[in-house]
Structure 1
């Protein structure tokens, strides 16, 4: 758990699309647009027919319902309540109360007082937060309730719960007052950082002169703390009404029965007399480009973003469908061009992205945007970085895409739609729910899988490159342009001015030339290897597994399934990893993964992507601290390509100086900038403390990066895969054991072997024993982060691990009840459990939360009080019942997932455990009692090894 892990591509995982509220929005009617209409959806062609498998109806009171039978997952249903209202409906003195109302729905209703909804559902195996949840946006509030259907009482009560949310929330005064602190803490947990401070400047700019600007869903803290109860009660009475609501039910049930349940539970709801009209709101256009530059002391990177806004309604017609497809193809082709530049040593940006998507992540319905983002190494280089990214837009607009790019992306689209169509009878219920939500909220179409497949195939057959290039050109408009820059405060003086940014926008495309495709027209493998043999075969029938031993010592474990029609996933491991590197070379060894990320053989990553176009397959190699191996996925028809990729990564790695040096250069920038972020400084401290300051477990420094050598990394990579005799492969998915064997003998039994019989080395990266307390002082605002660790060595076995899981589950319930419900001091505290067998058996409990600085000691003492209660009394019967129900219900779902089996089999094989272990899970879970949790708490929640790590603002 606490091993050192480098992240050379941290910046690639940044949320680069700026200030995107994590909320879905409803379409607003368009005012007269200034923007060009070439990208606007035209609904003049035939409307897309609704999927005939969904039953749509409306009750006399106006409530809409969508019902569909679907058996993935089996014995489950997704129940949703959609309300076509959000923060835009609030009065000035109600700001934040749409979201507050959502919270109150879980704090007591007519038929489920206090927290009885959560309590009841947890006992039925429904997890609060992970399953049972809700969200509020500008235009809508949505409640989600995944529920079992094999319990008639629970299933029927699911509809009663939805109806209680729809019109029977209690809004008791003391409950309202108790929830105020929780809402304020939610704002603290999600904000009080550089992103929120910059968002506070950017949102009024991006949403200027509109209702959106004045109705950010979280609201205003002074209103949240002081509003009178009548304000939230009147909001609920005015807006939670059936003619603005929909019930969506998709799952393994009888459609007619569900329709009757909806009628029985929702028909008595009524609309208010003289109901307020449901208003729609819009954003104004801008003729001249708008520019905003913001900086913050804790912002680590220089980021520029240009947006070209377009008005675009929901997908309703065949023309809309075609436009969507073309836009996605443009995103793919332009993204590939930018990725190709990013791999070059002289790339002017760390990261660049361009794509067409909803404006601000969908915050404002009816507005999309073509967006370009560039991240530079320095503020002084931001203009050049943005110019280079925008030049690709202009290259696209002036010269279009090449025929080879067009053919490549068509192959990718076709492969994707083929895979989707083959899985149509295995589609998860939540996929359909999201379709129906879009239909209710914004009027989007609900096409069937057959329509999606046939229409896409038809479009691909007739689509011309000229049509695609015309659409691409239309995305770069001369009006409705927005430029946003976010930068570290310390570099603000070196940023380009507004005038310079406007000049970049105007001149970026000067002197661009047509794109030249660099595809490699060669086979992945120069020659097919000489096949080896299968020397032994055995079966573990109770879990449907076949195990093979190959002539070169490689072991293969096969589990064919029917959970997905078009999926095979795989993973392999061999002992050793970077633990075998010497102390002088470990920096290079720990970055040997860069070799796998540089492509394979003669194919760099871009060329490999083009080569694989038309195939739904991926594979790569990895090296971590204890193991090396391969992982990937494929369709059954592309399996041979997946095996060829494994063989190529093992025997013909690519040594690319340019890609390697670009990544090292980027990593230096990331490392140099990371200390501006409080969470980054805190994370480094946590890593150092938990590694007990062992050099091999410490955060990476600039000095460490200087020691990374391409030659050493490449040599280490080659050495790790020079001996496959210790590799164990696991394949799970839709394949026939006999038909996969020729691929196994050809590409796995032929892997090179040296029979070194290796093991990993215990580097001694272990947490400190005893009591440790460390406080980090970093940050500008009143926000503290707390992590409390209880850990120790233990006897790793499945029985102990089950007891640990039970203890974790029950403790999580009590920590939530105490810190959130009783103390009103946190929003979402967490309890995590991590266990490991190798290199030494150890367990870690972590209690974590965010809170106000003044409450740190009080809330830590409250958490420790709950831990002490467990040591004295164990878990309650109620909480044990919740654990058992949730654990067994989740296992029912997991046993039908390929991903579960891949992880399960790999872990059993790594740890030398029985592959049939899962068959005893129910008995082990049912063996948990109050007494066993008390014994476990005394043993595993001992204060002997206790680590307290806190982040508080700077003094």
Structure 2
């Protein structure tokens, strides 16, 4: 399951730094409302916040709590959750890891669903294991999620029986426990066995002050997981899985009273154990003064510093709490804006930084500042980050900063309020889960909207300026320094770190907010005209062709109240750049997207767009160039203006170029230390037949790139609007937006060059290839097996490959996980494309112990051989058909799906009406068709094996 440790403080920064080959300094415009919501004033005070009247909250005589809410997004669906107020913190020394193991066993046999019957039943009902059906274990809670259809009365009713089985009737069959040991150990291997885990083992005792939390990580102790007996885990379940520590949450398209009766009938028989143990509340004792912890690891590719000032947790229960949380949101926003602004310098002082006040673990809040330094520049990074926080404390924030922060908060609440009848059920579940676990109030969106609208303007700069003083302290403070082993001698000692922090504020001056009051466009363009208009009544679209040749596909929907999605594309992309100029061309879109527009730099543009719910980003892929955008209906014109300007007045910013190149160089410096990066770089190289366009950029390529070439390439790609097709999906009236389309898209320049992409034949090589990379300290292997070849792209083939993908996922989960106990989460991904040429790729991937690589590859090939010989079972086909039919029903009511689908149909020159017959085509999937598909596409003559093994000792 999804083990949730909630302790890797550097995860956010690391994902930022490792998510892309190229560092990007662009930050999308922050959404804000044009008009502030207006509502009656609310009285401030210590009184408790109200409870949302739209949720029914009750408690059974045995103590079980339930939350029930009717909600029709998505239609004919419901989210059922079981929340258990128990986790690893309650384990005895002999039970370490068994809270999480218990969660696993809930899927491996209960009173009414022996062995794997539960998963099998739900898959046949259209629920995917892992994607839909899932659970997680943390320090203080265990949560089970079960999304179900409500248009099947039997399946929906059985869902509550499943929750009740988890709550009180898990079997703990000894044979099933032994089979699951390997799976849990492999989960530990997959999520751990890396530099971050080893660093956490060094730093967590400092952050958690050697409390019980530091010694009760949810994954537990390996020796216990290997040897515990059934009695030990049953004892944990008996003590802590009891109704007075449990809640059932049901949100969805159903009758509330009927659901309440189902809960009463299924859960009332659960009993609390005699002489029940008290549910001890553990805390982390304060750390006197400041503790500095320095940790290194051979495979860690970054140098970072984190300053954590801890405070007792405040749970939002009263109006005063809510007002303070509002102030904190404003503070965090403004601090983030200042730190992000520094990334727009030609030589940014760090790779990434953040400073914010938020909840920690173990009933703690914390003001946490973290910075990832460029190699060899930790002192400067730390001083700059600390100085920005000190600047806020000493000089405060400006009125203009505060106004933008308020607009950001207002747009979020305004959007939530506008979508109150279109809110996804899962969003309510999260709120109700917090209410049960911590007591956090659930006043509901109507109250929150009115409260914020009435009270946010009561917050002034004095309130904000006081917060920094409250957050900054040298008491209960922990400072963490992490870096690679090779730089251990260069890292500071405790005295030096404290000296950096104490002197960071020397010579500070007040922040200057560089804002402009100029409009985005000085003059409205001369509109073009619609020359043809075609309606497709079947799927509700209207296609416009403008005089400049640009095509616009409109699909008005009522799926969301406050959303319009805009996608525009034209074929060409970086395939039209020479190899010599590829790096410049590949950097063109992110550089332009981070440089602002016309005469406004990115910082000015961000500030101009405060108060607007709009985001616009140009892109250039290998075969296309285009614009991705979204906006609320009220800010649609602003989105169209930005699109027009990204075509006609892109901005060349030398500072952004220099900063981007500097960041990329820094990331490349230590990339080779991380086994995962080395492996992925090798995978990319092999699967592209070592084409430089698909490989990690080199320092030499960066040296050869230039802003002039990047800017010129961008201008050329957006010079001809006649090749563009735009898709607009969301809440709009076609007749109302047509004038905006004519004005801002119809006026774009056209040359009618009729360009398209070049097929550069970048795809996996033919033949049998095995590539083994030896990198990594721990016993952790990663395997990827790739089948590929030419492909005829059409619906009848596509649906058969989709079926094959899901069948293989089912069979490999059963074989590699359940039978062999050798992996945690095997995966199969089959992709196919028409552009630039018809190709398919079928990838199988898993992580495991190095000693099991050959055995598990052989088991995988055995399952493939069975599919080729016998085809899929009728049961597995039934599972796929049920899953695909139900997911299609949901997708057809989703703006994001339609935006992507209509764009894809246009690019591939397909009939978009085909989606309406997609479910009926599921009948074409048979045992024989799966046999034929497996035989054709899982051809071992074109098989690449890519294996990451630990370094040889």
Whether 2:57 is the aligned partner of 1:51: answer no
1:424 match: secondary structure: coil
Q: Using the TM superposition, name which of 599-608 and 145-154 deviates more.
A: 599-608
Whether 2:804 is the aligned partner of 1:807: answer yes
1:364 is matched with 362
1:754 match: secondary structure: coil
Partner Cα separation in structure 2 for residue 392 and residue 596 of structure 1: 26
Whether 2:80 is the aligned partner of 1:79: answer yes
Counterparts of residues 862-941 of structure 1 (less than 5 Å) = 862-941=859-938
Q: Using the TM superposition, name which of 614-623 and 410-419 deviates more.
A: 410-419
1:445 is matched with 441
From the superposition, tell whether residues 547 and 73 of structure 1 become closer, same or farther in structure 2 (CA, over 3 Å). Answer: same
Counterparts of residues 335-734 of structure 1 (less than 5 Å) = 335-359=336-360, 363-365=361-363, 367-379=364-376, 381-593=377-589, 594-734=591-731
Task: Assess if the C-alpha contact under 8 Å between 1:339 and 1:606 holds in 2.
Answer: no
Task: Assess if the C-alpha contact under 8 Å between 2:17 and 2:352 holds in 1.
Answer: no
What is the CA-CA distance between 1:14 and the residue it aligns to?
2.5
2:408 match: secondary structure: helix
Residue by residue over 1:899-942, the C-alpha shift from the partner in whole angstroms, topping out at 9 and shown as x without a partner, is 00000000000000001010110121121010110011111111
| TM-score of the aligned structures, taking structure 1 as reference length | 0.95
2:14 is matched with 14
Task: Assess if the C-alpha contact under 8 Å between 1:342 and 1:352 holds in 2.
Answer: no
Whether 2:314 is the aligned partner of 1:317: answer no
What is the CA-CA distance between 1:211 and the residue it aligns to?
1.1
Task: Assess if the C-alpha contact under 8 Å between 1:413 and 1:614 holds in 2.
Answer: no
Residue by residue over 1:415-439, the C-alpha shift from the partner in whole angstroms, topping out at 9 and shown as x without a partner, is 2221111111111111111111011
What is the CA-CA distance between 1:209 and the residue it aligns to?
3.0
Residue by residue over 1:878-918, the C-alpha shift from the partner in whole angstroms, topping out at 9 and shown as x without a partner, is 00000000001101111111000000000000000001010
Residue by residue over 1:632-656, the C-alpha shift from the partner in whole angstroms, topping out at 9 and shown as x without a partner, is 1000010000000001111111111
Q: CA RMSD in A?
A: 1.5
2:948 is matched with 951
Whether 2:182 is the aligned partner of 1:167: answer no
1:62 is matched with 63
What is the CA-CA distance between 1:792 and the residue it aligns to?
1.1
Partner Cα separation in structure 1 for residue 373 and residue 277 of structure 2: 49
Residue by residue over 1:379-417, the C-alpha shift from the partner in whole angstroms, topping out at 9 and shown as x without a partner, is 4x2121111001011000111100111111122222222
What is the CA-CA distance between 1:121 and the residue it aligns to?
0.5
For residue 816 of structure 1, the aligned residue among 809, 813, 817 is 813
| TM-score of the aligned structures, taking structure 2 as reference length | 0.95
1:195 is matched with 196
Partner Cα separation in structure 2 for residue 877 and residue 93 of structure 1: 44
Task: Assess if the C-alpha contact under 8 Å between 2:209 and 2:287 holds in 1.
Answer: no
What is the CA-CA distance between 1:311 and the residue it aligns to?
1.5
What is the CA-CA distance between 1:11 and the residue it aligns to?
11
Partner Cα separation in structure 2 for residue 904 and residue 496 of structure 1: 53
Task: Assess if the C-alpha contact under 8 Å between 1:400 and 1:473 holds in 2.
Answer: no
2:34 is matched with none
Whether 2:217 is the aligned partner of 1:216: answer yes
What is the CA-CA distance between 1:505 and the residue it aligns to?
2.1
2:670 match: secondary structure: helix
2:941 match: secondary structure: coil
Structure 2 spans left out of the alignment, 5+ residues:
1-9, 19-43
What is the CA-CA distance between 1:354 and the residue it aligns to?
1.0
Partner Cα separation in structure 2 for residue 453 and residue 312 of structure 1: 25
Partner Cα separation in structure 2 for residue 211 and residue 358 of structure 1: 18
Partner Cα separation in structure 2 for residue 499 and residue 435 of structure 1: 44
Task: Assess if the C-alpha contact under 8 Å between 1:787 and 1:948 holds in 2.
Answer: yes
Partner Cα separation in structure 2 for residue 364 and residue 13 of structure 1: 22
1:6 is matched with none
From the superposition, tell whether residues 16 and 623 of structure 1 become closer, same or farther in structure 2 (CA, over 3 Å). Answer: closer
1:537 match: secondary structure: strand
1:276 is matched with 277
Counterparts of residues 281-300 of structure 1 (less than 5 Å) = 281-300=282-301
What is the CA-CA distance between 1:537 and the residue it aligns to?
0.4
2:183 is matched with 182
Task: Assess if the C-alpha contact under 8 Å between 1:696 and 1:763 holds in 2.
Answer: no
Residue by residue over 1:526-571, the C-alpha shift from the partner in whole angstroms, topping out at 9 and shown as x without a partner, is 2111111000000111000000000100000000000000100111
Spell out structure 1 runs of 4+ moving beyond 6 A.
10-13
Residue by residue over 1:5-61, the C-alpha shift from the partner in whole angstroms, topping out at 9 and shown as x without a partner, is xxxxx998624799xxxxxxxxxxxxxxxxxxxxxxxx9612110001111111111
1:259 is matched with 260
For residue 773 of structure 1, the aligned residue among 767, 770, 775 is 770
Partner Cα separation in structure 1 for residue 440 and residue 11 of structure 2: 34
Partner Cα separation in structure 2 for residue 89 and residue 853 of structure 1: 33
1:39 is matched with none
2:421 match: secondary structure: helix
Partner Cα separation in structure 2 for residue 612 and residue 486 of structure 1: 37
Whether 2:776 is the aligned partner of 1:782: answer no
From the superposition, tell whether residues 198 and 435 of structure 1 become closer, same or farther in structure 2 (CA, over 3 Å). Answer: same
Task: Assess if the C-alpha contact under 8 Å between 2:327 and 2:459 holds in 1.
Answer: no
1:868 match: secondary structure: helix
For residue 743 of structure 2, the aligned residue among 737, 746, 749 is 746
Partner Cα separation in structure 2 for residue 613 and residue 695 of structure 1: 40
1:751 match: secondary structure: coil
Partner Cα separation in structure 1 for residue 105 and residue 407 of structure 2: 50
From the superposition, tell whether residues 17 and 587 of structure 1 become closer, same or farther in structure 2 (CA, over 3 Å). Answer: closer
1:513 match: secondary structure: coil
What is the CA-CA distance between 1:583 and the residue it aligns to?
2.1
Aligned residues: 918
Task: Assess if the C-alpha contact under 8 Å between 2:888 and 2:919 holds in 1.
Answer: no
Partner Cα separation in structure 2 for residue 530 and residue 473 of structure 1: 53
Partner Cα separation in structure 2 for residue 697 and residue 825 of structure 1: 32
What is the CA-CA distance between 1:226 and the residue it aligns to?
0.6
2:807 match: secondary structure: helix
Residue by residue over 1:113-172, the C-alpha shift from the partner in whole angstroms, topping out at 9 and shown as x without a partner, is 001110000111111111111111111111010001111110010000000000000001
Partner Cα separation in structure 2 for residue 645 and residue 758 of structure 1: 24
What is the CA-CA distance between 1:868 and the residue it aligns to?
0.7
What is the CA-CA distance between 1:492 and the residue it aligns to?
1.4
2:33 is matched with none
1:326 is matched with 327
Partner Cα separation in structure 2 for residue 12 and residue 129 of structure 1: 23
Task: Assess if the C-alpha contact under 8 Å between 1:792 and 1:844 holds in 2.
Answer: yes
Partner Cα separation in structure 2 for residue 248 and residue 486 of structure 1: 41
Partner Cα separation in structure 2 for residue 150 and residue 698 of structure 1: 48
2:296 match: secondary structure: strand
Residue by residue over 1:496-532, the C-alpha shift from the partner in whole angstroms, topping out at 9 and shown as x without a partner, is 2111111122221222111001112211112111111
Partner Cα separation in structure 1 for residue 225 and residue 562 of structure 2: 50
Partner Cα separation in structure 1 for residue 690 and residue 88 of structure 2: 48
